[in-house]
Amino acid sequence: MPRKFAPETAYYLYRGTPMLALIGKGVRFPPGQWLLVADGTVEPWIAEELVHDLFPALRGMASFALLLTDFDVFEFERARESA
């Protein structure tokens, strides 16, 4: 069963869109499968380069989101629905 809340503040990758997000500890994950990529203490550009190294096909394709509160997740989901 997938986790519903982030167990730690960290960078997570959603490969469906693709999307790299910094998600805060205890914040609800948006629907879908999220893969832990890096600890939240890592600089954003390092997390992005790590994604590019692990998934070269995503270079230049992944967007970035900050989801540090449940309101951020609500706004993120609303934006995805309207797109």
Residue pLDDT, tens place only, 31-67: 989 999 999 999 999 999 999 998 898 888 888 999 9
CB 66 within 8 A of CB 22: yes
Q: Which residues of 10-26 are buried (b: 16+ CB within 10 A; e: fewer)?
A: bbbbbeeeebbbbbbee
Helix, strand, coil fractions of the chain, as percent rounded to 5: 35, 30, 40
Split at pLDDT 50, 70, 90, the class of 2 is low
Domain ranges of the chain: 10-82
Q: Name residue 74's amino acid.
A: F
Sheet holding 19-23, edge to edge: 34-39, 10-14, 19-23, 63-67
